């Protein structure tokens, strides 16, 4: 690798950290050969549930040069969202920590654009695209290749310094950079995430059956939640953090420094009855800029009604 590529790589990481990203790694933009058979098998078993989009653009998911012609590097970035204080969990329903504040897509996409602009100013013209869970990009696989962590048995990216409470984002660009090597898997013999999942959504290590995951049931599924799950929701009404809460690596999770991720002040006061009587106006007020809007009001009410059947 040329000295110029090494210099540019150092500049990328320095600039990313200056914008608040917690980690930044680089991988060569090439076909994900090892992932093709795994993705195909997962889709064939129907583990995507109603997420039909997972089967779309199969080739693009595996080949970044189909997303960005002439791509040479994938820059993988992480941005933590772990809160300083979690919302109290007594006598109330739960929403995933990532949804406490404003929708991360907008917050991080803006930072990615700034990163690309700053690199262009310092290096010259760079062609590329920014991705925040918004296109067929296998972000965890790229993060693993870029040395940002390893994919754990719960299929999330784990980082020895930060655990797993972070968002992933990518810049795919036509600039040659010095790639980082992958790190080893530190899950060992631990099976806490598998054992703790109330819906048995992790049938085997490193494989998640999306159609059984509480996050899928409360966000992606558009019809009624199957009755078999009515006593398994564990009070979760939007997303689920169980497999992260039990992961030993999350004892290293560091609180975020992003004001936009602060929880709406009303959330901490919501008890069972407040959720069960939530009005459309209250929904709009609390979740105006939140990812929870993805379920729409009717979807959240459906989730609350299902969770209420097995209230803990």
Please tell me whether residues 26 and 169 are part of one structural domain.
yes
Domain span holding position 230: 192-252+263-309
25 located within any domain: yes
Please tell me whether residues 120 and 219 are part of one structural domain.
no
Write down the catalytic residue from 63, 133, 174, 185: 133
182 located within any domain: no
In angstroms, the CA 227 to CA 231 distance is 9
Please tell me whether residues 225 and 167 are part of one structural domain.
no
DSSP 87: P
Please tell me whether residues 35 and 71 are part of one structural domain.
yes
What does each of the 312 residues of the chain score in pLDDT, given as a tens digit? Answer: 689 999 999 999 999 999 999 999 999 999 877 776 676 666 566 655 555 545 555 667 778 888 889 999 999 999 999 999 888 889 999 999 999 999 998 899 999 999 999 999 999 999 999 988 876 688 999 999 999 999 999 999 999 999 999 999 999 999 999 999 899 999 999 999 999 999 999 999 999 998 899 999 999 999 999 999 999 999 999 999 999 999 999 999 999 999 999 999 999 999 999 999 999 999 999 999 999 999 999 999 999 999 999 887
Which residues on neighbouring strands pair with residue 75, listed in sequence order?
26, 171
Please tell me whether residues 107 and 152 are part of one structural domain.
yes
* Residue 133 annotated as catalytic: yes
Residue 45: the pLDDT is 63
Q: Is the pTM of this model over 0.85?
A: yes
Q: Is the separation of the CB atoms in 132 and 108 below 8 Å?
A: yes
280 located within any domain: yes
Q: Identify each DSSP E strand in 43-147 by its residue range.
A: 73-80, 94-95, 128-131
Residue 89: the pLDDT is 86
209 located within any domain: yes
Instruction: Mark which of 143, 173, 203 sits at the end of a domain.
Output: 173
Q: What is the DSSP string of 98-124?
A: GGSSS-HHHHHHHHHHHHHHHHHHHH-
Comparing CA positions, the residue from 236, 104, 106, 88 lying closest to residue 165 is: 104
**What is the count of structural domains for the chain?**
2
């Amino acid at each position: 690798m040329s000295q110029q590529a090494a210099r540019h790589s150092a500049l990328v990481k320095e600039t990313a950290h200056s914008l608040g990203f917690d980690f930044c790694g680089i991988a060569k933009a090439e076909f994900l050969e090892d992932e093709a058979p795994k993705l195909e098998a997962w889709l064939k078993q129907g583990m995507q549930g109603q997420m039909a989009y997972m089967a779309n653009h199969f080739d693009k998911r595996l080949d970044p040069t189909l997303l960005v012609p002439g791509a040479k590097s994938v820059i993988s970035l992480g941005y933590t969202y772990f809160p300083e204080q979690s919302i109290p969990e007594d006598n109330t329903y739960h929403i995933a920590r990532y949804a406490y504040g404003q929708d991360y897509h907008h917050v991080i996409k803006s930072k990615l654009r700034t990163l690309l602009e700053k690199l262009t100013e310092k290096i010259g013209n760079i062609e590329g695209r920014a991705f925040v869970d918004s296109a067929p990009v296998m972000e965890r696989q790229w993060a693993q290749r870029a040395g940002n962590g390893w994919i754990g048995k719960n299929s999330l990216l784990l980082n020895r310094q930060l655990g797993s409470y972070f968002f992933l984002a990518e810049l795919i660009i036509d600039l040659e950079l010095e790639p980082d090597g992958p790190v080893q898997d530190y899950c060992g013999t631990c099976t806490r995430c598998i054992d703790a999942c109330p819906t048995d959504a992790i049938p085997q290590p490193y494989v998640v059956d999306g159609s059984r995951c509480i996050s899928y049931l409360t966000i992606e599924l558009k019809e009624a939640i199957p009755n078999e799950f009515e006593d398994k929701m564990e009070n979760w009404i939007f997303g689920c953090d169980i497999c992260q809460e039990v992961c030993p690596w999350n004892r290293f999770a560091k609180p975020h420094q992003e004001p936009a991720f602060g929880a709406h002040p009303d959330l901490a006061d919501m008890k069972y009855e407040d959720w069960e009587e939530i009005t459309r106006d209250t929904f709009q007020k609390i979740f105006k800029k939140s990812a929870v809007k993805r379920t729409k009001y009717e979807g959240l009410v459906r989730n609350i009604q299902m969770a209420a059947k097995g209230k803990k």
